[in-house]
Amino acid sequence: MRRETPEKKRQDEKRLISEMIAYYCQKKHGSAAGLLCEDCLKLEGYAHTRIARCPFTESKTFCSHCEVHCYAPEMRERIRELMRYSGPHMLIRHPLLVVRHALTGMQNKNTGKKGRGEG
């Protein structure tokens, strides 16, 4: 399997998080499809900024496995809640995005930071 460029990984991560936020906002906040409430719009902007500035994009698996937490604690908790809710639904709604994300994570598993507690 061929490795993706860091920019391609960033774009894929941004697209996936945007899809997750859109689904969450629609189901939890009653937003119309394709629209985000003000809070979710801010969360999306924050997440995109963090993804764009990540210095480990080339070698990391998932943000949750990174030793450097660039999200503020409150925003990290909001993202966790959103992912817990939206994640299982993404496999049905956007299977190719999810599979690509998982494959990229597995591909980088041995080159990036490993899970918490390992060292």
Give buried/exposed letters for 84-93 (b at 16+ CB in 10 A, else e): eebeeebeee
> What pTM was computed for the model?
0.79
- Give per-residue pLDDT as tens, 6-18: 888 888 889 989 9
- Give per-residue pLDDT as tens, 50-107: 999 988 877 766 776 677 888 999 999 999 999 899 988 888 888 888 887 777 767 6
What is the pLDDT, as a whole number, of residue 115? 41
What's the DSSP call for residue 67? Answer: S
Half-sphere exposure of 97 (CA within 13 A, CB side): 19
Q: Residue holding tokens 């859109």?
A: 22
What is the pLDDT, as a whole number, of residue 48? 96
